[in-house]
């Protein structure tokens, strides 16, 4: 090329082209171009009308399931144990429940797996007691009649609370009742206390008003909600479970960025006043999708409790690692899986 100006122009043009090509390669490598949509998958999920299932409620309300290509049918139940029963009967693909009933189901031989934990609440569980029955401190519970829903984390919390205060678990009388009756039974005086979760706990407290004495036990037990499925299902439908994880992570991000709106959505779906939900310790609800190593310790403690309580025969503690379905969350957001694997 004879003309130096033309040569300089050509060099400049080539440089620009190289820069643009590198930028495009960089952009494509960083995932700026989206993949084509996959066909819609159907999922049936049974979940409790409790704040513990908040992420599932938010995902449904915000349309995140649909965004991720899921057609989700939600079946609302009073508490997680009922949701697990629906799962056991094949009436749901997945269930949202507390860890204690999940452990009992596993001990009973159910082939279940946890896809993810969706909430941790250190102070949700509580014992609400009647002051007029002389209950002012934990040891005052000895010999009292305490209402629980057997086989739930309400019962497990009472056990852990008593041990935390060096009290024998069999020194109290357990009265089995559904969560919906607890506030009424406590107010009527047929029982001296209840051990339960939100929003029943707040209702019980409100029913007693000044006569209420509430005990929490963050050092004894951190309430945990898990999304559970049959092991075969979780293995057979990995794509659907991964989409569910993405939708739940979107709900988690929404709660982090728009906490007030998230509160209003949950209150609306649980038919509660936002103020009431706030008063029931909503701020302590750590809405987060993960699978933690520490959870295995709790599951094993709960297994020992369940065997001690006769929900299963005495024997070795099961290997709960086999009941954690890590694949979906590992595929979507691996840093959320801290289980040693």
Partner 1 sequence: MRISTKGRLATTTALATIGLIAGMIWWANQEVEDASGRRRQTTELTRGLTELRLVTFEYMLHRHERPRQQEREVTERLARLIDASPFSGAGQREVLDHLREHSAAAHRLFEELAATPGADGANTADAESTRRFEAQLSSRLLILQQESLADAFRLTDFSAERINAAQQRVVIVILAGLALIALTTGGAAWLINRKVLAPIKRLEEATREVAAGNWNYKLDLAGDDEIADMSRNFDAMTHSLRTSFAQIERSNQELAALNQEIEAFSYSVSHDLRGPLRSMDGFSLALLEDYGDKLDDEAKDSLQRIRAASQRMGRLIDELLGLSRVTRAELKLKPVNLSEIAREIADTLAQQQPPRAVQWQIEEGLMVHADKALLQIAMQNLLENAWKFTGKVDEPVIRVGATERDGKQEYFVADNGVGFDMVYADRLFGAFQRLHHESEFPGTGIGLAIVQRVIRRHEGTIRVEAKPGLGAAFFFQLREQSHG
If binding is defined by CB under 8 A, does position 67 make contact with partner 1?
no
Closest approach, Cβ 237 to partner 1, in A, equals: 28
Out of 13, 40, 142, 236, the only residue in the binding site for partner 1 (CB under 8 A) is 13
Binding mask 184-223 for partner 1 (x = CB under 8 A): ----------------------------------xxx-x-
Q: Which two tokens stand for residue 274?
A: 């936002």
If binding is defined by CB under 8 A, does position 166 make contact with partner 1?
yes
Out of 61, 66, 88, 167, the only residue in the binding site for partner 1 (CB under 8 A) is 167
If binding is defined by CB under 8 A, does position 8 make contact with partner 1?
yes
If binding is defined by CB under 8 A, does position 73 make contact with partner 1?
no
Nearer to partner 1, 292 or 309 (CB): 292
Helices (H), the chain: 4-29, 54-62, 64-67, 80-88, 99-107, 153-164, 182-188, 200-208, 231-236, 238-257, 259-269, 274-279, 293-308, 327-332
How far is Cα 119 from Cα 272, in angstroms, rounded to an integer? Answer: 19
How far is Cα 80 from Cα 149, in angstroms, rounded to an integer? Answer: 11
Nearer to partner 1, 28 or 338 (CB): 338
If binding is defined by CB under 8 A, does position 301 make contact with partner 1?
yes
Q: Which stretch binds partner 1 (CB under 8 A): 47-55, 132-140, 298-306, 319-327?
A: 298-306
If binding is defined by CB under 8 A, does position 335 make contact with partner 1?
yes
Non-local (6+) Cβ contacts of 205 within 8 A are 128, 212, 214
How far is Cα 149 from Cα 175, in angstroms, rounded to an integer? Answer: 8
Asked if 317 contacts 324 with a C-beta cutoff of 8 angstroms, the reply is no
How far is Cα 195 from Cα 157, in angstroms, rounded to an integer? Answer: 7
Q: Which two tokens stand for residue 42?
A: 């159907």
How far is Cα 224 from Cα 117, in angstroms, rounded to an integer? Answer: 7
Three-class secondary structure of residue 175 per DSSP: strand
Nearer to partner 1, 133 or 164 (CB): 164
Q: SS3 string of 126-160? A: EEEEEHHHCCCCHHHHCCCEEEECCCCHHHHHHHH
If binding is defined by CB under 8 A, does position 133 make contact with partner 1?
no
Nearer to partner 1, 43 or 291 (CB): 291
Q: Which two tokens stand for residue 205?
A: 């407290």
Out of 105, 196, 280, 298, the only residue in the binding site for partner 1 (CB under 8 A) is 298
Nearer to partner 1, 30 or 34 (CB): 30
Binding mask 278-297 for partner 1 (x = CB under 8 A): --------------xxx--x
Cβ burial of 122 (10 Å; 0-12, 13-18, 19+) is: middle
Q: Which stretch binds partner 1 (CB under 8 A): 17-25, 71-79, 147-155, 260-268?
A: 17-25
If binding is defined by CB under 8 A, does position 28 make contact with partner 1?
no
Q: Which stretch binds partner 1 (CB under 8 A): 50-58, 61-69, 89-97, 164-172?
A: 164-172
Angle between helices 99-107 and 293-308 (to 10 degrees): 60
Out of 1, 32, 37, 168, the only residue in the binding site for partner 1 (CB under 8 A) is 168
Binding site for partner 1 (CB under 8 A): 5, 8-9, 12-13, 15-16, 19-20, 22-23, 26, 30, 160, 163-164, 166-168, 218-220, 222, 256, 292-294, 297-298, 300-301, 335, 338
């Amino acid at each position: 090329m004879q003309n130096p100006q033309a040569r300089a122009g050509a060099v400049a043009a080539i440089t620009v082209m190289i820069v643009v090509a590198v930028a495009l390669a960089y952009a494509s490598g960083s995932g700026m171009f989206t993949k084509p949509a996959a066909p819609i998958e159907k999922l049936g999920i049974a979940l409790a009308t409790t704040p513990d299932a908040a992420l599932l409620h938010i995902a449904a309300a915000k349309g995140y399931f649909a965004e991720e290509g899921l057609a989700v049918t939600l079946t609302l139940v009073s508490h997680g144990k009922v949701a697990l029963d629906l799962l056991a009967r094949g009436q749901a693909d997945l269930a949202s429940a507390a860890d204690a009933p999940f452990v009992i189901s596993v001990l009973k031989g159910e082939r279940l797996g946890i896809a993810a934990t969706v909430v941790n609440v250190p102070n949700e569980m509580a014992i609400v007691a009647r002051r007029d029955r002389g209950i002012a401190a934990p040891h005052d519970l000895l010999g009292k009649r305490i209402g629980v829903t057997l086989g739930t984390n309400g019962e497990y919390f009472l056990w852990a609370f008593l041990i935390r205060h060096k009290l024998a678990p069999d020194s109290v009388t357990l009265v089995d009742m559904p969560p919906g009756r607890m506030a009424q039974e406590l107010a009527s005086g047929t029982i001296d206390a209840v051990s339960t979760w939100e929003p029943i706990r707040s209702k019980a407290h409100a029913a007693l008003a000044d006569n209420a004495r509430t005990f929490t036990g963050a050092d004894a037990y951190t309430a945990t909600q898990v999304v559970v499925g049959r092991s075969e299902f979780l293995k057979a439908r990995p794509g659907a479970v991964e989409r569910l994880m993405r939708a739940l992570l979107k709900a988690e991000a929404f709660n982090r960025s728009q906490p007030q709106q998230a509160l209003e959505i949950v209150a609306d779906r649980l038919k509660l006043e936002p103020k009431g939900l706030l008063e029931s310790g909503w701020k302590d609800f750590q809405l987060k999708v993960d699978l933690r190593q520490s959870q295995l310790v709790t599951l094993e403690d709960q297994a020992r409790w369940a065997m001690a309580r006769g929900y299963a025969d005495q024997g070795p503690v099961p290997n709960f690692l086999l009941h954690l379905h890590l694949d979906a969350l590992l595929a979507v957001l691996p840093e959320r899986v801290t289980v040693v694997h």
